[in-house]
């Protein structure tokens, strides 16, 4: 007896996946809501890939947003499995999909990846920072460091998704982050988050890095929520 092919189960439909690297079957993978056209700066889904009115009015502190998926079914189930059911396999799947997307999009290689930090309390509760786990694969493939403690969350904040609107989300993360080291030799950073909702969190972290002298900041995320109102 020799079972040369390992098998796993699809995280979304439980089908057996044989000899696969990912815990995701082909049918479910093809079902994921890939981003087609979006604002290149903030990543918001649009009917055409043009800079959106919001970014035209006021450019964000980052140059580009790379978002693999729109935040809808069934990729949102992978996010829920990862964040609320502690499934690290889901973070690995999302990390591999993001790595493939960045390569295909010919994203520029940054000096480092900064995952959006969790506050200590939430980190202990969840046991891992999902943005850190998602970034591992890319950091390895691209041979760049992933800096988990260069930006810290200095106070706990309610999840952005619990807040009603953009203004409340901006207030919620204002001065929530701090730099915990020098970025004087850093020219290009990629900020990584699993889901970008209003963009308030990544904007706050990008501003912090910009003020400290980082010339270029990109946002990498698995999912981008929203669209034009």
Site for Zn ion in 4-33 (CB under 5 A): 10, 12-13, 15, 25, 28
The pair of structure tokens assigned to 92 is: 């690995």
What's the start-to-end Cα distance of the chain, in Å? 59
- Least Å from the CB of residue 15 to Zn ion: 5
Do 202 and 196 form a contact (C-beta atoms < 8 A)? yes
Q: Is the dihedral of CA 100, 214, 207, 229 positive or negative?
A: negative
Of 41, 81, 219, 223, the one binding Zn ion (CB under 5 A) is 41
- 52 touches Zn ion (CB under 5 A): yes
- Least Å from the CB of residue 164 to Zn ion: 21
35 vs 186 by CB, closer to Zn ion: 35
Of 22, 32, 38, 42, the one binding Zn ion (CB under 5 A) is 42
The 10 Å Cβ neighbour count of residue 96 is 17
186 vs 206 by CB, closer to Zn ion: 206
- Least Å from the CB of residue 185 to Zn ion: 30
- Least Å from the CB of residue 123 to Zn ion: 30
> What is each CA distance from 24 to 44, 72, 88, 206, in whole angstroms?
26, 17, 13, 33
- 67 touches Zn ion (CB under 5 A): no
Size of the residue set binding Zn ion (CB under 5 A): 11
28 vs 151 by CB, closer to Zn ion: 28
Site for Zn ion in 197-226 (CB under 5 A): none
User: Candidates 42-50, 96-104, 198-206, 212-220 — which segment interacts with Zn ion by CB under 5 A?
Assistant: 42-50
12 vs 214 by CB, closer to Zn ion: 12
Closest C-alpha to 166, from 47, 42, 75? 42
State the residues that interact with Zn ion by CB under 5 A: 10, 12-13, 15, 25, 28, 39, 41-42, 52, 55
């Amino acid at each position: 007896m020799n079972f040369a092919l390992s098998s796993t189960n699809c995280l979304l439909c439980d089908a057996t996946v044989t000899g696969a690297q990912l815990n995701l079957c082909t049918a479910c993978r093809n079902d994921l809501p890939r981003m087609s056209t979006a604002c290149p700066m903030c990543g918001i889904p649009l009917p055409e890939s043009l800079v959106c009115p919001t970014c035209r009015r006021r450019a964000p502190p980052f140059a580009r947003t790379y978002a693999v998926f729109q935040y809808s079914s069934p990729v949102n189930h992978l996010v829920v499995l990862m964040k609320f059911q502690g499934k690290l396999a889901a973070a690995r799947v999302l990390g591999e999909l993001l790595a493939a997307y960045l390569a295909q999009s010919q994203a520029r290689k940054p000096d480092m990846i900064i995952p959006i930090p969790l506050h200590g309390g939430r980190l202990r509760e969840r046991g891992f920072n999902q943005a850190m786990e998602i970034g591992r694969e890319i950091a390895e493939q691209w041979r760049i460091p992933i800096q988990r403690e260069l930006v810290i969350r200095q106070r706990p904040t309610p999840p952005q998704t619990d807040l009603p609107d953009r203004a409340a989300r901006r207030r919620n993360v204002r001065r929530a982050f701090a730099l915990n080291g020098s970025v004087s030799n850093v020219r290009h950073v990629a900020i990584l988050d699993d889901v970008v909702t209003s963009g308030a969190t990544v904007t706050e972290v990008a501003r912090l890095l910009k003020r400290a002298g980082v010339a270029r900041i990109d946002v990498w995320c698995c999912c981008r929520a929203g669209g034009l109102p």
